[in-house]
Amino acid sequence: MAENKAISQNEYLSLSSEIMSVRKRGEVPLAYVRTYGCQQNVADSERIKGMLDKAGFSFTESVDDADFILFNTCAVREHAEDRVFGNVGALKNIKRKHPSVIIALCGCMMEQEHVAKRIQDSFPFVSLVFGTNCLHEFPRLLYNTLLYGKRTFLRGNTDENVYEGIPIKRDGLFKGFLPIMYGCDNFCSYCIVPYVRGREKSRRPEVVIKEAREMIEAGYKDICLLGQNVNSYGKGLDPRPNFSTLLKEIDKIEGDYILRFMTSHPKDCTKELIDTIAQSKHISHHLHLPFQSGSNRILELMNRRYTREKYLDIINYAKERIPDLSLTSDIIVGFPGETYDDFKETLSLIKEVEFTSLFTFIYSRRKGTPAATMPDVATDDEKSAWFKELLKTQEEIAAKRCENMVGSTQKVLVEEKSSNKEGILSGRTNGNIIVEFAGDESLIGSFKNIKITKARNWILNGELVKE
């Protein structure tokens, strides 16, 4: 928050806290925050929770107990939107049962005109709606909603400022996200993100480095830098910093931690970035580089601005420089006009690269994007069959990659107890592969060496190495 605004926004939070001390239903005011979608949304919710915390709220996992309910929504695919509408509809009964509860919606869906209108017209029990670029205004919005009870809609993402100083309540104690930029300028023809999150804007490098240092000092062991296209970090800043330089600066901070980042765009992924990873002390040997389709014809229709050959060039360079590199990617199946021949190009690419894992999606038509009006040739059944073929092919590749790791020793960040196996812990390798092994829960949050004994598809089993 800008200096003069920070004061007034903080005051709004104190005033909200006073109102809530009277208005709460239970012993303390309770907030329920549910996050849909990507890591950027998780990071936004952590800031909203930081502000709610300052406004005197504790947090609950039950909508029934809450005084304040917030859904942070995702618009990237239709399925995610349908789930939000279904779950918002179900809140009508909660509002009927507890009329004092405040129901709020934010995130990418709210930046779409037709969605905001539908909320306005058909969901009168929703009191507050705010968009992706209005987080810094949340204290004022919350206060006004509590005080006047008037329905408030604040949307629009043309603000070019980056607001700093918003309090954060992170979900994890040793794994955390650190946003370095917001928005996207790429306009891939299928994607709604540039419309709902607005133009790219970067946080200043000194602010990012300071936040990284604070996280490391607070005991964070796994820090993930976030942006829709981290490779174009710095656009618009003067002097213009570059992403590799930012990584190098953070990497200099002393400590036992892993530095990750996502997402990289192949068109901007440079050899300098690969060299930076190879020479660093802390950067994970994991690169998430979405290629979306293996067919040059489809890549052009998608407006991705690289070819299959250029993608493979950078991948081959990366494999050469970082032999233990773990690669992951996003793929869309069934883009308008895609034929089985195009799809086969995607299959051949995944066989050639041998990714550790893939995030696979069936194309979802997004109103207002160029692809939404492109003619389609394949049926839904055909697309589902291709999708299954893709999953099966990747399963075999992942199993083979994991099998090759048996016998090696991996440095693993121990994350949690297994949900269904007594005495078993689970963690992740530097390359982000899940490892399960027997151990005491006091190890959670620390790095341990694990000897890999067995591969089960994409999960590894191992044993603690005695130190």
- Residue 193 touches ligand SF4, criterion: CB under 6 A: yes
- How far is Cα 315 from Cα 319, in angstroms, rounded to an integer? 6
Phi, psi of 323 (to 5 degrees): -60, -30
CB of 365 to ligand 5AD, least distance (A): 7
Count the neighbouring beta carbons within 10 Å of the beta carbon of residue 407: 8
Task: Kindly tell me which of 60 and 186 has the beta carbon lying closer to ligand SF4.
Answer: 186
- How far is Cα 45 from Cα 176, in angstroms, rounded to an integer? 13
Which window, 174-182, 297-305, 356-364, 430-438, contacts ligand 5AD (CB under 6 A)? 356-364
Residues 223-242 that bind ligand SF4 (CB under 6 A): 228-229
- Residue 112 touches ligand 5AD, criterion: CB under 6 A: no
Task: Kindly tell me which of 265 and 282 has the beta carbon lying closer to ligand SF4.
Answer: 265
Q: Summarize the chain as % helix, strand, coil (round to 5).
A: 40, 20, 35
184 makes contact, choosing from ligand 5AD, ligand SF4, none, with CB < 5 to 8 Å by partner type, with: ligand SF4
| Strands of 357-362's sheet in order across | 286-288, 326-333, 357-362
Task: Kindly tell me which of 112 and 127 has the beta carbon lying closer to ligand 5AD.
Answer: 112
- Residue 288 touches ligand 5AD, criterion: CB under 6 A: no
Q: Strand pairing partners for 376?
A: none
Q: How many residues bind ligand SF4 (CB under 6 A)?
A: 10
Which window, 40-48, 81-89, 185-193, 242-250, contacts ligand SF4 (CB under 6 A)? 185-193
Using CB positions, name the residue nearest to ligand 5AD. 330
Task: Kindly tell me which of 56 and 290 has the beta carbon lying closer to ligand SF4.
Answer: 290
Name the region of 429 (left: φ>0; alpha: ψ -120 to 50; beta: rest).
Answer: beta
Beta strand pairing call for 447-456 and 409-417: antiparallel
Options 84, 135, 141, 191; binder of ligand SF4; rule CB under 6 A: 191
CB of 290 to ligand 5AD, least distance (A): 4
Residues 382-401 that bind ligand SF4 (CB under 6 A): none
- Residue 76 touches ligand 5AD, criterion: CB under 6 A: yes
The DSSP call for residue 292 is: B
Chain center to CA of 195: 17
- Residue 38 touches ligand SF4, criterion: CB under 6 A: no
- Residue 346 touches ligand 5AD, criterion: CB under 6 A: no
- Residue 364 touches ligand 5AD, criterion: CB under 6 A: yes
Task: Give the closest residue to 421 by CA, choosing from 436, 408, 431.
Answer: 436
Which window, 12-20, 48-56, 138-146, 191-199, contacts ligand SF4 (CB under 6 A)? 191-199
CB of 364 to ligand 5AD, least distance (A): 4
Q: Are 188 and 290 in contact (CB under 8 A)?
A: no
Opening angle at CA 116, ends 167 and 77, nearest 5: 80
Burial class (CB in 10 A: 0-12, 13-18, 19+), 113: exposed
Task: Kindly tell me which of 37 and 139 has the beta carbon lying closer to ligand SF4.
Answer: 37
Task: Kindly tell me which of 54 and 77 has the beta carbon lying closer to ligand 5AD.
Answer: 77
- Residue 295 touches ligand SF4, criterion: CB under 6 A: no
265 makes contact, choosing from ligand SF4, ligand 5AD, none, with CB < 5 to 8 Å by partner type, with: ligand SF4
The DSSP call for residue 332 is: E
Can you list the alpha helix ranges (DSSP code H) found in 322-436? 340-353, 380-403
229 makes contact, choosing from ligand 5AD, ligand SF4, none, with CB < 5 to 8 Å by partner type, with: ligand SF4
- How far is Cα 439 from Cα 459, in angstroms, rounded to an integer? 17
- Residue 330 touches ligand 5AD, criterion: CB under 6 A: yes
Task: Give the closest residue to 1 by CA, choosing from 111, 128, 108, 134.
Answer: 134
Residues 146-205 that bind ligand 5AD (CB under 6 A): 190-191
- Residue 188 touches ligand SF4, criterion: CB under 6 A: yes
- Residue 290 touches ligand 5AD, criterion: CB under 6 A: yes
- Residue 68 touches ligand 5AD, criterion: CB under 6 A: no
Q: Which value, in Å, is the radius of gyration of the alpha carbons in the chain?
A: 23
Which window, 188-196, 214-222, 354-362, 376-384, contacts ligand SF4 (CB under 6 A)? 188-196
CB of 188 to ligand 5AD, least distance (A): 7
DSSP string, 47-110: HHHHHHHHTT-EE-S-GGG-SEEEEEE--SSHHHHHHHHHHHHTHHHHHHH-TT-EEEEEEGGG
Helices (H) and strands (E) in the chain, counts: 14, 19
Residues that bind ligand SF4 (CB under 6 A): 184, 186-188, 191, 193-194, 228-229, 265
Task: List residues binding ligand 5AD (CB under 6 A).
Answer: 76-77, 190-191, 290, 292, 330, 332, 361, 363-364, 366
